[in-house]
Structure 1
Amino acid sequence: MIELDDGCRVFVQNTALRLASLENSQRIMNGRPVNPDEIYFRCQPKLEATVPQWDWLSESQFIGTGRRAPDGVYLSFHRVL
């Protein structure tokens, strides 16, 4: 679940594929930074908003990329037109 600036909550169901070498996987598990160019991290989020003005989120297809950092996971979603 994410909350938008206007207070609308959006449910996110995200299917992802992340591929990393054993060395990089161990670095991630130990909380150490990894060069994101060395990790394949792609996703396909399905979004569902709680208010009508954001219905287009449920009616659109998205793809995304991600990176894992020591302080969290960062995702970027892109709408497919």
Structure 2
Amino acid sequence: MPDAAFDALPPALRTLQTRPLFVMRLQVKPLQVVGPQRRIGVVPGGTFDGERLRGEVLDSGVDWQTVSADAVTGLDVRLVLKTHDGALIAMTYQGRRHGPPAVLARLAKGEAVDPTEYYFRIHGGFETTAEPYAWLNGVVAVGTGHRLPEGPVYSLFEVL
């Protein structure tokens, strides 16, 4: 019965379609623990690679994390991407990461954990004045994350 509401919609509004944008791998320094609910992660670099754009993440990123009482980590990230041809793109994203306490403890220890054992999703957008990438200014991106000991890896998709 819950899907009945979707049946009345035009076909274009019944599903969400995406197109691969890029895979991004971030390096992170040890978290700065400001308190039980606030952690700050500094991102000194990384890479991104996709069909339409690729390059490096510049040493200027920061991730302000909040940890709720139910152990859901909220992400609020700002990065600067530099494409292979020198264009600068500001990227912001927010997200959520959570899972069973034992899995989160393994992640906190720096262990490699199968991404199917926890939830890690993001959404974000871009800003640039570089003409070849101006199309990004109108894009909403969604992604799935995977936390490795050296930093997160994201698969990002353009929402069509």
TM-score by length of 1: 0.90
Matches within 5 A, 1:13-24: 13-24=92-103
Aligned to 2:138: 59
Q: Is residue 27 of structure 1 aligned with residue 88 of structure 2?
A: no
Q: In the alignment, what sits opposite 2:85?
A: 6
| Between structures 1 and 2, the one with greater helix share | 1
Gaps of 5+ in 1: none
Structure-2-length-normalised TM-score: 0.48
The two structures, once aligned, show a CA RMSD in angstroms of 1.1
Runs of 4+ in 1 over 4 A off after TM superposition: none
1:71 matched residue in structure 2:
150
> Residues of 2 paired with 1:45 and 1:57: CA distance?
11
Letter in 2 for 1:9: L
- Report the identity percentage: 30
Query: What does residue 46 of structure 1 align with?
Result: 125
User: Which structure ranks higher in relative contact order (CA pairs < 8 Å, sequence separation ≥ 6)?
Assistant: 1
